């Protein structure tokens, strides 16, 4: 039986590379996905997840994360949690419980403290400077404050047919204190059923939540639709619905994988993602919307170099 992993954004590459080695060596999907997501959370230059994540309007880093086990359908999630190093591990721990599986703010922090999770100030100097600059720009140019909401989300299949999904994000840059997006919300930001497959989303949470899009992709795969077709259908139909009813659709991208390791990607913007399977090492792809379809190709060396330069560019 093969294994596989698909994840949102280039930032997932190192985590997926590490997790795919673990999967190859026979480790299970719950452990592998937690490791992969926590590597993204730990890296200070990924500015929308974990340490170095961009703050809310009060310059506080409030983090959202979820974990789901596709065998038991167990879910754990945290939202608006501050000053803990790896929200995904806290979410995974919560998924073991029968009650109180989704905790927010002070409640999530109390749970994390009582269960011995590591505390950390998640606000970096770099994120603070980005926040200050943005504040000035908003005032000077009279801009909408909201910008940037990239979630790392992954779906993982191991050799034993276990599937998991997990997400982690600092949410919308400059969000109001207490704002929660789609990422920790079951069915919206993520969903997995080991007998069918899993999906997870990134983009504007306020719009993704209006369609329960991750569940919708899994539901279609459950009807026998191939992952690529399922995800394209969900993205294109829902983007159209938003435009029809609300005049605009926010950025929405979804990755999915079925229980056979076949995968799909859909987007209404330009979007990078990472895939690893038994047959291919972890690779970054860049996807684009083409009418109702999504096309993608492997990221070029120029694209990868420009990304590296951009995320590490000094901030004044």
Interface residues with ligand GLY (CB under 6 A)?
149, 151, 169, 171-172, 181-183, 202-205
CB of 104 to ligand GLY, least distance (A): 14
Nearer to ligand GLY, 179 or 259 (CB): 179
Count of H helices and E strands in the chain?
Answer: 9, 13
**What is the distance in angstroms between the CA of the first residue and the CA of the last residue of the chain?**
51
Nearer to ligand GLY, 202 or 272 (CB): 202
**Coil/strand/helix, residue 111:** helix
Q: Which is nearer to ligand GLY, 151 or 164 (CB)?
A: 151
CB of 108 to ligand GLY, least distance (A): 16
Closest CA to 168 of 79, 95, 97: 79
Q: How far is the CB of 62 from ligand GLY (least distance, A)?
A: 10
* 129: Cα within 13 Å, side-chain hemisphere: 7
Shortest separation between residue 172's beta carbon and ligand GLY, angstroms: 5
Are 38 and 86 spatial neighbours (Cβ–Cβ below 8 Å)? yes
Residue with smallest beta-carbon separation from ligand GLY:
181
- Classify 26 in phi/psi space as left (phi over 0), alpha (psi -120 to 50) or beta: left
Looking at the Cβ atoms of 19 and 208, the one nearer to ligand GLY is 208
Return the number of other C-beta atoms located less than 10 Å from residue 152's C-beta: 30
Which of 270-302 are b and which e, b meaning 16 or more Cβ less than 10 Å from the residue's Cβ? ebbbbbbbeeeebebbbbebeeeebebeebeee
Q: Which is nearer to ligand GLY, 50 or 205 (CB)?
A: 205
Q: Is 151 among the residues known to form the active site?
A: yes
Judge whether 49 and 153 are in contact, CB under 8 Å: no
Distance in Å, CB of 173 to ligand GLY, minimum: 10
Catalytic residue among 151, 165, 202, 277: 151
Distance, CA of 130 to CA of 279 (rounded, Å): 40
- Any idea which residues carry the catalytic annotation? 151
């Amino acid at each position: 039986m093969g294994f596989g992993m698909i994840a949102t954004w280039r930032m997932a590459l190192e985590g997926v590379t590490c997790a795919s080695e673990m999967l190859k060596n026979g480790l299970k999907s719950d452990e592998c996905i937690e490791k992969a997501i926590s590597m993204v959370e730990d890296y200070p230059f990924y500015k929308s997840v974990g340490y170095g994540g961009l703050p809310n309007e009060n310059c506080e880093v409030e983090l959202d994360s979820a974990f789901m086990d596709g065998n038991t359908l167990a879910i754990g999630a945290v939202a608006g949690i501050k000053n803990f190093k790896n929200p995904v591990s806290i979410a995974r721990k919560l998924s073991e419980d029968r009650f109180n599986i989704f905790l927010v703010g002070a409640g999530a922090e109390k749970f994390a403290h009582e269960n011995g999770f590591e505390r950390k100030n998640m606000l970096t100097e770099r994120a603070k400077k980005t926040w200050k600059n943005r504040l000035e720009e908003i005032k000077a140019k009279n801009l909408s404050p909201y910008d940037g909401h990239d979630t790392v989300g992954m779906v993982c299949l191991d050799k034993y047919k276990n599937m998991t999904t997990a997400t982690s994000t600092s949410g919308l840059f400059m969000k109001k204190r207490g704002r929660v997006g789609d990422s920790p919300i079951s069915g919206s930001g993520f969903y997995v059923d080991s007998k069918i497959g899993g999906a997870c989303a990134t983009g504007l949470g306020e719009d993704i939540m209006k369609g329960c899009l991750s569940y919708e992709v899994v539901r279609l795969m459950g009807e026998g639709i191939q992952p690529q077709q399922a995800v394209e259908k969900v993205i294109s139909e829902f983007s159209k619905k938003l435009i029809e009813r609300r005049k605009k659709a926010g950025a929405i991208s979804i990755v999915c994988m079925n229980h056979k390791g076949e995968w799909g990607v859909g987007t209404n913007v330009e979007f990078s993602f990472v895939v690893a399977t038994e047959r291919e090492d972890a690779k970054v792809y860049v996807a684009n919307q083409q009418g109702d379809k999504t096309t993608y190709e492997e990221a070029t060396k120029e694209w990868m170099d420009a990304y590296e330069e951009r995320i590490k560019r000094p901030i004044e």
